[in-house]
Structure 1
Amino acid sequence: MKLFSAKQIYKADQITTKKQGIAGEELMERASLQLFNWMHLRMQGAPVKIHLFCGIGNNGGDGIALARHLLEHGYNIAVYVVNYSEKRSEDFLINLARLKERKCWPNFMNSDDELPVIGKDDIIVDGIFGIGINRTPDAWVIKLIQHLNNSQAFILSIDIPSGLFSDQSPKDFDAIIKSNYVLSFQAPKLTFFLPESGPYVEQWEALDIGLDVDYLSSTETAYELIGKNEVLTVYRPREKYAHKGTYGHVLILGGSYGKIGAVCLSSKAALHAGCGLVTAYLPAVGYSILQTSLPEIMVLTDKDEKIITDITFEIDPTIIGVGMGMGTDDKTIMAFGSFLKSNEKPLVLDADAINILSKHKDLLKHLPKDTILTPHPKELERLIGKWKNDFDKLNKVKKFSDQHQCVVVIKGANTIVVQNGKGYVNTTGNPGMATAGSGDVLTGIISGLRAQGYSALNAAVFGVYLHGKAGDIAVEKTGYQSMVATDLISNLGNAYLDLFQIPEQPQPSEAEPEAQQ
């Protein structure tokens, strides 16, 4: 699913009204009907008080139009116009007039007005600001927003939580509505999935308001949301007459005394991801551990007992995953540097491999094209430097990726894969995956996919999806607190199987009464 910028959505609106021969107010009516139908289907006329807070732009116009539909179907509503400017959009005024024709008189809120009383069992519809906001609201509006957030009432936001910017980071986090649910027009916004702004969106759903299909399908976006439908297009099924050599040979290189488990996790994950062969290269202390715990894995050892000091091997791997548990001893750094200078194989770099690159940036020029890097936040900061906010971070990662012709996996709650100036935002995963070894598993999965012939980008995007999906399946049995990294490996097979499960279709319901203008 494409994640459109605010500018692209505005253009879609303009093209839609022109090609479909409709006025802006008709597109607004279409949007408000979608909002109403969503609410009415779930509420069925429930006797609950609904407070609609509407700005004076088009987002507020959506809220005013929604209020009319709710009123006509007998809902108990109170409408507030947040009067933060003397300017009003034309479509807002049209819908305001329609609401007044039905003898519903909004409360016009100004800076010196008292804040309304809202019960914790009431519902708030937030339509104060839309995607056009680009400055911090006035102090009295911030006070209102904080009042709504503190009310304990359920908050439903129209298109985007008020005060949250669509294409830039917030300047005042106290000036943002904390939404329980966001009904986003046509597609969600990138800001819903970033660490700083994501917490203001508890749940979201995209409502199709009929924007021009040709424009939406032909327009390139800087970010794309990745779900099951997207990864199914890159999935490579097994061939009947294939053998283990068909699916590649992964070399997992890492480990040090006390951190052999990281290599075990990556090696096992690579096999479960579907590659044909896995060899682990690690200090001699890990030999018995690997041979005993993972009989499917072949093992090569460094001459040193405790650390990696010399990376030499006679095998011919398809892909090499490097860094997990490797440490940053001076001898290991020298060995890694020498390896990079002579290596011609595709790489997946994690953990200490990235930490070494951060301290010795001259080594970056030796990375093969399409190297995949999988840093956690601190490792990423060491690599690209500190960032001001999430959007600045994304810009820095894109610049780094372009400069070094690599794929960067920005690990987090919604992991983002970046290559060639585009970001791919993952939708799977949960807080239970914040556990030791989870990143080692991801490196193994991506390495295993790369070995099977997936491109670097597809291996990263698909690997991140499978990793998160395995976590989502595992958490149903473990809960968040008790999940461990091996649970992810154990459920990789289930994650693959889930790709081909058809979701249950909702039972048809009685036709809803059609709202009128």
Structure 2
Amino acid sequence: MKIFSADQMRKADEITIQTQNITSLDLMERASTQIFNVLHQRLQGAPIPIHVFCGIGNNGGDGLVISRLLVEHGYHVKTYIVNFSDKRSQNFLVNYDRLKEIASEWPTQLKSEEDLPEISPQDMVIDAIFGIGLNRPIVPWVINLIKHINAARSFTLSIDVPSGLYADKAPDDKEGVIYASTTVTFQLPKLIFFLPETGQYSQDLEVIDIGLSREFISQTPGFAELIGKNEVLSLYRPRHKFAHKGDYGHCLIVGGSYGKMGSVVLATEAALRIGAGLATSFIPECGYEILQTSIPEAMVITDDEDDYISEIKYDIAPTAIGIGIGLGTHEKTIKGFEAFLKNHKSGLVIDADAINILSLEKELLQYLPPKSVLTPHPGELKRLVGDWKDDFDKIEKVKAFSNAYDCIVVVKGANSLIIYKDQIYVNTSGNPGMATAGSGDVLTGIITGLIAQGYDPLHAAVFGVYLHGSAGDLAIQNTGYQGLLASDIVGHIGKSYLELFKKPQPIPQQSA
């Protein structure tokens, strides 16, 4: 699913109005009616007080339409106009008059902190103050209104985006943003719902179709791409009847040091579980028995050193190499990695200490093979690209890094981002239980195993991140968040493939 920028969403509105021969007022009525339908279906006429806070732009106009429809259906509604400016949008004014015509109680005007209404935790709040139209800092008394709404701890539904959030940058005041229980957004998701700093303001997200021009949406490249089951299904490469292990590549996992052999075990088994035909681990001598015992399906090559890797030499022809897990940063290891990088020309998956070495020796970045995949955790990423002001600045720094070195960067997190030059992919699978030791090692093995099978490195990163998260989602059904281990993720990789083709279960019909 595409993610559009605020400008692209405004353009989609304009094209829809032109091609469907409707007015912007008609489109507002259509969109707001869809939100009302969501509300009405859930509330079923429940007699709870509903507070609707409307700004004076088009988001406020949406709120006024919803207020009118709620009143018409018998709900107990109080509507407030948040007067943060003297300007009013035309659609706001028309819907304000329409509401006044049918409401027994006219909207209450809010102009300062002295006007803040009482809100009970048992009430419901509808937030229609700003939406994606916010483009300047919020006046102080409105920030206090937002804090007042948050302090009430009532169920809060935000229209399109929680008020106080910009569409394309971090908020000015982190406390001046509505904490929405649910956000109902129009037509397409927005990037802010998936970034750590801004995603926290929506506990739940629902995307509703408001009938925007499908032709415009299909023909316009998105600002980013949201990755779910439907998107990765097209990447899957099925096996044929007469296949043999040689058809699915040979991956080499390079890593490990004394006390850190478990990372190589996890990555190697993950590479095999994801479907690589053959897997070899290149490790220091101290890990030989561990690898041979833990993964009988894998082959092992050892370094001359006992406790760390000093020189990466092998007599096989791997189709993909994953390097860095548990590697350490011994002086000889750094020199061995430097020599390897200067002589290796095919694609790599680079993680952990290999990334740390690149951060220490930045001149080595010029030797990265094209479309190498880097999988840093936040600390490693910061060492690689430098500090950032906010999540949007982080994305720009990663894009610049990717452009400079023709590499793919997996920005790991709750919604991992896969960035290749100016392309951004936002993953939707995974859960908090995956914040556990070894989870990243499993991801390295998965992506390496996919590249070994012949997947394009970018496709392998996108597909691998999704399957990694899906395996974690399946695993927590047995372990819960706290009980999840990285080895549980490995054990559910096969099921994550099966889940791709699992049809949704029909909703059982209740008998009369």
Alignment TM class, shorter chain as reference: over 0.9
SS in 1 for 2:197: coil
Matches within 5 A, 1:45-444: 45-103=45-103, 104-444=105-445
Give, in angstroms, the shift of residue 508 of structure 1: 8.5
Deviation string, structure 1 residues 332-380 (Cα, Å, up to 9, x no partner):
0000000011112310000000000001111111111010000000100
Cα pair 2:165 2:198 within 8 Å, conserved: yes
CA deviation map 1:462-499 (0-9, x unaligned)? 00000111111111111111111001001111111110
| Distance change (3 Å), C-alpha of 1:143 and 1:508 | farther
Q: Deviations over 1:134-167 (max 9, x none)?
A: 2221111011100110101001000000001111
TM-score computed with the length of structure 1 as normaliser: 0.97
Secondary structure (helix, strand or coil) at the match of 1:296 reads coil
Partner SS for 2:185: strand
> Letter of the aligned partner of 1:75 in structure 2?
Y
Per the alignment, do residues 502 and 274 of structure 1 end up closer, same or farther by CA in structure 2, a change over 3 Å counting? Answer: same
Query: What secondary structure is seen at the aligned counterpart in 2 of 1:121?
Result: coil
Cα deviation code 1:290-346 (max 9, x no counterpart): 001110010000000000001100001000000000000000000000001111231
Question: What whole-Å deviation, never above 9, does each CA across 1:242-274 have from its counterpart, x for those lacking one?
Answer: 100101101000000000000000000000111
Q: Which amino acid aligns with 1:332?
A: T
Residue type of the partner of 2:182?
A: Y
TM value normalised by structure 2: 0.98
Deviates more, 1:215-224 or 1:176-185: 215-224
Which residue of the partner structure matches residue 35 of structure 1? 35
CA contact (8 A) 1:136 1:175 kept: no
Single out whichever of 371-380 and 499-508 deviates more from structure 2: 499-508
Query: CA shift at 1:121, angstroms?
Result: 1.1
Measure how far apart 1:505 and its partner are: 4.0
Q: For residue 200 of structure 2, give the secondary structure of its aligned residue in structure 1.
A: helix
SS at match of 2:379: helix
Aligned to 1:250, the other structure's residue is in SS state strand
Provide the residue aligned with 1:515 in structure 2.
none
Does the residue aligned with 1:131 lie in a helix, a strand or coil?
A: helix
> For the Cα contact (< 8 Å) 1:126–1:161, is it kept in 2?
yes
C-alpha distance in 2 between matches for 1:46 and 1:92: 27
Q: Judge which range, 378-387 or 101-110, deviates more.
A: 101-110
Specify the SS of the correspondent of 2:322.
strand
What amino acid is the match of 1:13? D
Deviation at 1:506, TM superposition (A): 4.5
Structure 1 contact 271–277 (Cα < 8 Å) conserved: yes
Cα distance in structure 2, aligned partners of 1:94 and 1:430: 45
- Shift, 1:31, TM fit: 0.6
Q: Which structure 1 residue ranges, 4+ long, deviate > 2 Å from structure 2? A: 504-509
Asked if 1:484 corresponds to 2:477, the answer is: no
| 8 Å CA contact retained: 2:251, 2:320 | yes
Pairwise CA distance, 1:507: 6.6
Structure 1 residue 8 and structure 2 residue 8: aligned? yes
**d(CA) in 1 for partners of 2:170 and 2:508?**
41
CA contact (8 A) 1:417 1:424 kept: yes
Q: Which residue is 1:513 aligned to?
A: none
Equivalent residue of 1:134, what SS? coil
Deviation (angstroms), 1:113: 3.0
Work out the CA distance in 2 between the residues paired with 1:264 and 1:78.
61
User: What SS does structure 1 have at the residue aligned with 2:115?
Assistant: coil
SS in 2 for 1:113: helix
The answer to whether the 8 Å contact 2:400/2:421 transfers is: no
CA–CA distance in 2 between the matches of 1:136 and 1:471?
A: 40
| Equivalent residues of 1:156, 1:181 under 8 A apart | yes
Contact 2:113 2:145 in 1 (8 A): no
Match of 1:24 in 2: 24
Q: Secondary structure of 1:321's partner?
A: strand
CA distance in 2, matches of 1:116, 1:480: 40
Question: C-alpha displacement at 1:114, in angstroms?
Answer: 2.9
Structure 2 match to 1:512: none
**The residue matched to 2:241 in structure 1 has which SS?**
coil
Letter in 2 for 1:60: G
CA distance in 2, matches of 1:409, 1:50: 43
Rounded Cα–Cα distance in structure 2 between residues aligned with 1:155 and 1:241: 57
Contact kept, 8 Å, 2:226 with 2:426, in 1: the verdict is yes
Distance 2:222 2:213 in 1: 16
Q: Alpha-carbon deviations, 1:220-252, whole Å to 9, x = none?
A: 122110000000011111111110010110100
Aligned partners of 1:414 and 1:425 also within 8 Å = yes
One-letter code of the match for 1:326? L
Q: Report if the CA contact (8 A) 1:449-1:463 is conserved.
A: yes
One-letter identity of the residue aligned with 2:117: P
Give per-residue Cα distances to partners, 1:153-203, cap 9 Å, x unaligned: 001000000001111111110110001100000011101111111110111
SS where residue 53 of structure 2 aligns?
strand
**2:270 and 2:445 in contact (8 A); partners too:** yes
Flag the 1:140–1:388 CA change in 2: closer, same or farther, 3 A.
same
Q: Which amino acid aligns with 1:4?
A: F
Residues of 2 paired with 1:61 and 1:329: CA distance? 63
CA contact (8 A) 2:350 2:373 kept: yes
CA deviations on 1:415-448 (whole Å, 9 max, x unpaired) are: 0000131110000111100000000000000001
CA distance in structure 2 between the partners assigned to 1:426 and 1:360 by the alignment: 31
CA distance in 1, matches of 2:508, 2:16: 32
Structure 1 residues 437, 312: CA separation in 2 closer, same or farther (over 3 Å shift)? same
SS in 1 for 2:152: coil
